[in-house]
Structure 1
Amino acid sequence: MKKLLTVISIIAILITILGCNRSNFKVNITDSKTGFPIEGKIQVNGKSVKINEGILYLNEGDYTIEKEGYGNLNLGINGNRTNNISTYMEPISYLIILTDNQNAKILIDEAERKGKIEEESIIISPVNEGQHSIVIEAPFYITKKITEEFHKGENLINANLALDSEKVQELLKNIEFPEDNKNFNFSITINGDISKNKFSYDLKGAVKNNLIENISDNNVSYTFKNSEPFINNEQVDDLERATILKFARDTIQEFLQFKEKIKSLNLKDANTDSISFTGEREFEDRKFSETIKLTLYENKVSSVTVNISSQDLQVDLEATISITIN
């Protein structure tokens, strides 16, 4: 009889435990506009609860969840639902900043706000209705200050920042370019297409005393005479390969005189780890649009990405140069 009672007790305990587990639901709550988890104090059926990382544990039942800045969330939980529930809260008012600067720091009423970064905008949610002061700033850009009256729903602000040329020039003065070292190794990856023929090349080379010593492809070393590539004293007759080798050489040569070239370029973008320029470039007696991006590490140029293109000539070449200082 004792054994029977013990077995019955164990079964009862297991049923109780399993029953509790079935009624304990994990609810993930996010902001409907940003997808960020809801944080801080909320009201669950009138009771104050602190929510961390958007996670709330609830039993079966009907709930009204409230949080400042959001519309009420009505949630019904029953045993037929999965134990993991995902839902969201709708902000009463939110902000979309239209900007092409993805590194912008946003302050609303002097408090920094995290936003969801999209291709050409930053979404901040929620923002209370009423008047707010907004500061939008980014390294090497002129800070923008706005006072705006916010209403219910979506609020749009156009805030493309202008580059601060003085700050960028100061940055350029302090950058160490490979030409300052005179000796370095490089690898250069070239991708693109000419007349719709796609290709990819991985080349290596070395610069000594600011002169290109060699360029190699799969351990085959090339030299240049009058800008034409040679191998074993014979001119390269493969037109595509010859064009790519000349483009690689010209790109490195251009980079060895970059401080001078900067003067003829237009500044496109700048932040703490990269600077971009646009301009024109001649290659094989033809003019191309050119974009150059310098990637920085500890105020040194660690890599360069160069793109030249021409719709008329059906040419699009991109070269990424990685630098190793000897």
Structure 2
Amino acid sequence: MTRPKFLPDNFTLALVGTVILASLLPCRGAAAVGFNWLTNIAVGLLFFLHGAKLSREAIVSGMTHWRLHIVVLLSTFALFPLLGLALKPVLTPLVTPALYMGVLFLCTLPSTVQSSIAFTSIAKGNVPAAVCAASASSLLGIFITPALVGLVVTDGSGHAGSAWHTVGNIVLQLLVPFIAGQLLRPVISKWLDKNRSVLRFVDQGSILLVVYVAFSEAVNEGIWHTISLQTLGGLVVVNVVLLALALGVTAFASKRLGFNRADQITIIFCGSKKSLASGIPMAKVIFASHAVGAVVLPLMLFHQIQLMTCAVLAQRWGARDTSGEQAPQPDGEGARAQVR
């Protein structure tokens, strides 16, 4: 039976289950120390396998489309942080200071890789350019995200985040394993191609581990005593507003800059997403352990909202006859398609 397109996928359900488990049975003491070591190993293995999987040829083939990549990077690392800061008077009444810090962290993250490419393909966009743009965003995010966090994220008391001091940890835990994977790609790439389930298991398992440890710490610090259902509803509204603005701006800008329809689709999908797979490990490295739970909650909600919204848009655009058609516009026909 086909799953209805508006229902969460199995991984999202697993995330929700992990949060519930951490809320009911949080790890403490020696168990928490053990889980922290396990998550560090899992995250390192995750980036090692991603490094081994990523094709250098795919990156090189798309690098020539520099105008498209610049637009995607500006949307990911400039537009989103500016939106997060500019909307502060509107957003802060809806969420707590800790959650707003999480929203700002969300705004600094790189784009997704797998879903950006998948949705671009479904919508009949420029897939090679999407591979390059999403991969470049993910790699550059290892350096850009900590820098942006240090500039725009505060801890609620006016102090800038300490991300500049954690760049070394980011490089050690994420970039070094990634480079090691790239270097060993000729040796293990064939094995990975035959055992794709291993990468998926490590990918999803590492995220679930980090979420469990983060929310265990947050529960021990009393997170659910400070976040009400009304606040969670406000957080959903904040995420919807951010995504709608990002989709609208990328659609408008890509059209005005003269990109063809396939490139416009690529810019919209690559420039409007934020990576859960990169974001949660980065949050663990950048923020104090007691703050990670609240910081990643906006990202977890945004992840599901962006998947459901972009799935609808990709299916609608992909089903169209593209000959002589105007560029897709989420604030126009695409937006009306979402509500129908």
TM-score strictly above 0.5: no
TM-score by length of 1: 0.19
**Structure with a larger share of its residues in strand:** 1
- Look at both structures and tell me which one has the larger radius of gyration over its CA atoms: 1
Larger relative contact order (CA 8 Å, sep ≥ 6): 2
More helix by share: 2
State the TM-score, normalized to the length of structure 2.
0.18
